[in-house]
C-alpha cells in the first residue's frame, strides 16, 4: 500500500495529477548520508529503484545514533519502514527489530518492541506456527512471581542449554550488543517441529534445521527477522511501509519560521486535518466551515466515497466525499460535527511574486501534528521555472512540500489560505531545483460555492 504522494515531476515528463509518482534521479550508491542520519534503499519493497527509508535523529529521537551504536545493518538489518505512531509511541522498523522511542521527563530512551509478544496479543500465534515455523509461547509468567529479574533471566536462558547450536547462535550477536537486549528471553521451550528445532523469544525466533529446506541446509541455525515478520503480519501501519524518495539534493536546510509565519502556522494548525483512505493512503485537508466542510485535492481522495478524517486534537470522523474536480484537482469532504476550528479563505488574485507563504500538512517526516514550512512565491502562472507543463491556475513557490502534504493549505502572512498544496516540480539538473505548486484558492472557492 502506498501513501498519497505529493506529485513529483521531472523536466522530461508532463505532470499527471492522477498518475504515478515520478522518481528522482537515483543515487549511485544503495545507501548514503542525509541530514541527521542515513538513507537506505536495500530493503525497498517490490524493487522500487531509488526508493527506500531513512534512519535519522530528527526531532530529538536518536534512532540513527542507536542504530549505528548497535551495529547498523549487520545487527539490526536494513530499515523497512518510516517512522510511525503506534500505541502512543514513535516507532521505526528494521528487518530484525522494531525501535520504540520512550520519552520521559527524567529518562528518555530507545527500546526494542517485544515483537512476538505483540503478535501473540494480536492473535497471530496460529499463523506464526503454520507459516513461520514458530512455536506458541508455553512459559507462564505466573510461576516466576516473586523472583528477581536476574533469577528469571537465568532460568529462561537455561532453556537454551537443550540445543547447544541454538545457544551458540543466541550468544553470537555481532558487536557489543547484549543478546538479551536484541532478542529478549525465551517464551517457549525448544520444540521439535519436524524439520527443525525451534525456540521462540520475545523479539526473535531461532531455528536449528535438521532437514534441507529452500532457505537453509540441514545443520544450519538461523534467526527469523522479527521486524520483517511483524510487517508481513500487518502490525505496522500501511502508510509506514511505503518507501519514500531520497531527500532532494541531500536534505535541504529548511528555513526556520519567522515570528509572523510561526503565528500563522499555530493559528491555522488546529483546522488542518489528515485524510486517510480505506487502504491506508493519506494526505491533508483543511476545514473551511465549522459545520464540517473540508477542502483537499481530488488526488488525495482518489475515487473513494468515504474517508477517515483526523483532527490535530485527536478526534476522528468518517468523511463523505461530496464532490471532486479532477482537472482542477480539488475535492470537498464533509464530516458530522459542529463548532470546528476553521481557516480563513483569502483572495489568490492578490498574491505577488516575493510574498512569503506558509505550507501546512501531514508530512510523514515529522510524525504527529501537522508540520509547517515557509517559502517565497516565485511564479503565478503555474509554470515551473525550468520548463515542462504547468498546473491549472497554480501558485509556484520554493516551499519544500513533502509527500503527505497534498491537500493542505498554503497561507499568506495574514493567515489567509491562498492555495491548496498540490505538486512539486523537480528539474533533472545536478542542482535538482524544485518548485512547489499550489492550486489558487479562488478556483477552490468557486468549486466550494457550487456544492454548498
CATH architecture type of domain 1-24+251-452? Beta Barrel (2.40)
pLDDT of residue 6: 40
Distance, in Å, from the CA atom of 223 to the CA atom of 219, rounded to the nearest integer, reads: 13
The mean pLDDT values, 10 residues at a time, for the chain of 452 residues are 37 28 48 88 69 86 90 91 84 93 72 92 91 90 82 93 95 80 92 95 95 92 91 83 67 50 88 92 94 94 93 93 91 95 93 90 70 82 44 76 86 94 62 70 90 78
Distance, in Å, from the CA atom of 191 to the CA atom of 173, rounded to the nearest integer, reads: 22
pLDDT of residue 227: 92
pLDDT of residue 116: 94
Q: Is 140 exposed, middle or buried (0-12, 13-18, 19+ CB in 10 A)?
A: exposed
Task: Break the chain into its structural domains and give their ranges.
Answer: 1-24+251-452, 29-113, 116-233
pTM: 0.53
pLDDT of residue 19: 30
HSE (side-chain half, CA atoms, 13 Å) at 269: 17
**Three state DSSP letters for 172-220:** CCCCCCCHHHHHCCECCCCEECCCEEEEEECCCEEEEECCCECCECCCC
Rounded to an integer, what is the distance from CA 131 to the centroid of its chain? 27
Amino acid at each position: 500500500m502506498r501513501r498519497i504522494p505529493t506529485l513529483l515531476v521531472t523536466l522530461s515528463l508532463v505532470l499527471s495529477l492522477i498518475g504515478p509518482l515520478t522518481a528522482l534521479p537515483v543515487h549511485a550508491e544503495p545507501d548514503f548520508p542525509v541530514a541527521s542520519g542515513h538513507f537506505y534503499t536495500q530493503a525497498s519493497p517490490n524493487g522500487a529503484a531509488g526508493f527506500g527509508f531513512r534512519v535519522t535523529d530528527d526531532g530529538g529521537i536518536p534512532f540513527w545514533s542507536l542504530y549505528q551504536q548497535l551495529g547498523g545493518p549487520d545487527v539490526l538489518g536494513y530499515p523497512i519502514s518510516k517512522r510511525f505512531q503506534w500505541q502512543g509511541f514513535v516507532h521505526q522498523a528494521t528487518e530484525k527489530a522494531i525501535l520504540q522511542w520512550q520519552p520521559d521527563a527524567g529518562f528518555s530512551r530507545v527500546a526494542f518492541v517485544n515483537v512476538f509478544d505483540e503478535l501473540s496479543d494480536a492473535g497471530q500465534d496460529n499463523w506464526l506456527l503454520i507459516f513461520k515455523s514458530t512455536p506458541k509461547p508455553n512459559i507462564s509468567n505466573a510461576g516466576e512471581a516473586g523472583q528477581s529479574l536476574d533469577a528469571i533471566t537465568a532460568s529462561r536462558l537455561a532453556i537454551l542449554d537443550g540445543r547447544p547450536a541454538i545457544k551458540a547462535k543466541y550468544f553470537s550477536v555481532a558487536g557489543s550488543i547484549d543478546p538479551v537486549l536484541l532478542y529478549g528471553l525465551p517464551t517457549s521451550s525448544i520444540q521439535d517441529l519436524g524439520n527443525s528445532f525451534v525456540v521462540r523469544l520475545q523479539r526473535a525466533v531461532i531455528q536449528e534445521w535438521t532437514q534441507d529446506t529452500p532457505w537453509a541446509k540441514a545443520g544450519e541455525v538461523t534467526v527469523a527477522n522479527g521486524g520483517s515478520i511483524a510487517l508481513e503480519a500487518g502490525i505496522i501501519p500501511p502508510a509506514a511501509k511505503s518507501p519514500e524518495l531520497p531527500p532532494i539534493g541531500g536534505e535541504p536546510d529548511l528555513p526556520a519560521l519567522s515570528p509572523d509565519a510561526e503565528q500563522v502556522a499555530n493559528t491555522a494548525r488546529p483546522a488542518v486535518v489528515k485524510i486517510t483512505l480505506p487502504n491506508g493512503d493519506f494526505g491533508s485537508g483543511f476545514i473551511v466551515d465549522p459545520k464540517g466542510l473540508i477542502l483537499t485535492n481530488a488526488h488525495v481522495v482518489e475515487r473513494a466515497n468515504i474517508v477517515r478524517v483526523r483532527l490535530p486534537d485527536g478526534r476522528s470522523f468518517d468523511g463523505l466525499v461530496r464532490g471532486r474536480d479532477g482537472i482542477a484537482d480539488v475535492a470537498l469532504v464533509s464530516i458530522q460535527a459542529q463548532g470546528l476550528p476553521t481557516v480563513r479563505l483569502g483572495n489568490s488574485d492578490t498574491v505577488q511574486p516575493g510574498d512569503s507563504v506558509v505550507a501546512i500538512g501531514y508530512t510523514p517526516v515529522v510524525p504527529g501534528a501537522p508540520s509547517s514550512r515557509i517559502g517565497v512565491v516565485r511564479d503565478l502562472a503555474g509554470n515551473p521555472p525550468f520548463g515542462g507543463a504547468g498546473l491549472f491556475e497554480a501558485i509556484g513557490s520554493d516551499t519544500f512540500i513533502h509527500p503527505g502534504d497534498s491537500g493542505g493549505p498554503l497561507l499568506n502572512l495574514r493567515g489567509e489560505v491562498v492555495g491548496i498544496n498540490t505538486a512539486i516540480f523537480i528539474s533533472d539538473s545536478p542542482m535538482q531545483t524544485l518548485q512547489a505548486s499550489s492550486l489558487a484558492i479562488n478556483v477552490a472557492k468557486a468549486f466550494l460555492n457550487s456544492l454548498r
